[in-house]
C-alpha cells in the first residue's frame, strides 16, 4: 500500500526544521530519515515516531499509541513506533519538538548499528 503523497508532503512540512529528509520503503509505508537515522514512518494514514525508553511513556502521556497491525495470530504491536500526538499534527512547532526527541533516539540506534558493523 503506497503512502498518500499528501501525507508525505504534510510530514515533510512538519519536520522541515530538522534538515533534508530522505525516504525509504518500510512495511508498505515510508520511513523518514535524517542522514542514516530513521526518526519517523508514514504507515497507513498515520505518522509514527521512533521512540524508546522514557520517550515511549512521554508519547503515551500525550495520547499517542504504538503502531500495530493484524496478523493471523492476532495483533502485532511495534512499541518503537508511536503515533505523533494529535495536537502536533497541525502544529509544526510541537511536531518539531517531538521529532527532535525521536531523532535523538534514532541517531543513537544508527550509531549502535554502525558500531556493530565495525
pLDDT digits 0-9 by tens, 18-36: 999 999 998 789 999 999 9
Percent residues over pLDDT 90 in the chain: 84
pTM summary value? 0.92
Nearest to 20 by CA among 103, 94, 109, 110: 103
Whole-angstrom distance, CA of residue 76 vs CA of residue 67: 9
Parallel, antiparallel or unpaired: strands 29-34 and 37-43: antiparallel
Hunting for cell 502485532 — which residue is that?
A: 76
Q: What is the mean pLDDT of residues 31-60?
A: 96
Topology of domain 5-117 in CATH is Yope Regulator; Chain: A, (3.30.1460)
Give just the sign of the alpha carbon dihedral 81, 109, 117, 19. Answer: positive
Q: What is the mean pLDDT of residues 72-101?
A: 95
Nearest to 1 by CA among 47, 33, 43: 43
Show me where the domains of the chain are located. Answer: 5-117
Whether the predicted pLDDT of 1 surpasses 70: no
Whether the predicted pLDDT of 116 surpasses 90: no
SS3 21: coil
pLDDT digits (tens, 9 = 90+) for 63-72: 999 999 999 9
Amino acid at each position: 500500500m503506497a503512502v498518500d503523497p499528501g501525507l508525505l508532503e504534510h510530514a515533510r512540512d512538519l519536520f522541515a526544521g530538522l534538515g533534508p529528509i530522505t525516504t525509504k520503503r518500510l512495511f508498505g509505508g515510508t520511513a523518514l530519515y535524517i542522514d542514516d537515522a530513521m526518526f519517523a514512518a508514514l504507515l497507513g494514514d498515520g505518522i509514527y515516531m521512533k521512540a524508546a525508553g522514557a520517550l515511549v511513556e512521554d508519547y503515551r502521556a500525550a495520547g499517542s499509541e504504538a503502531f500495530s497491525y493484524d496478523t493471523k495470530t492476532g495483533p502485532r504491536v511495534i512499541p518503537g513506533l508511536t503515533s505523533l500526538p494529535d495536537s502536533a499534527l497541525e502544529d509544526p512547532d510541537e511536531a518539531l519538538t517531538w521529532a527532535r526527541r525521536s531523532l535523538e533516539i534514532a541517531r543513537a540506534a544508527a550509531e549502535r548499528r554502525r558500531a556493530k558493523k565495525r
